[in-house]
Amino acid sequence: MKTNCAQHQDCLQVIQRILDKEATAEEVARFMANKDQCLPCQEGYDLELSLKKAIKNNCSASCPSDLFARIKTKLFLVLILISILIPLFC
């Protein structure tokens, strides 16, 4: 097994695309074949996968509905104000 990866930065980008489900089938197949023979890629993949799972499991809180409503109202008022002011200055 390799202990040094010459394309480590590229591999990290591919790992991100794989975990975000944005990688092509070719990229996935090529990386998975390489991962089994490259310790840095294997460790990088495992670390990123663990981080993604931990974030998903621990960051599931949603915005309270009253806060969301207040933000939405303020944004709507800002948009109205902008639509009124833009013609005055153009």
Q: What is the DSSP secondary-structure string of 44-86?
A: HHHHHHHHHHHHHHH------HHHHHHHHHHHHHHHHHHHHHH
Q: What is the pLDDT of residues 56-67, one digit of tens each?
A: 888 777 788 999
What's the pTM value of the predicted model, to 2 decimals? 0.62
Q: Looking at the predicted structure, is the pLDDT value of residue 27 above 80? A: yes
Phi and psi at residue 37, to the nearest 5°: -115, 0
pLDDT category of residue 45 using cuts at 50, 70 and 90: very high
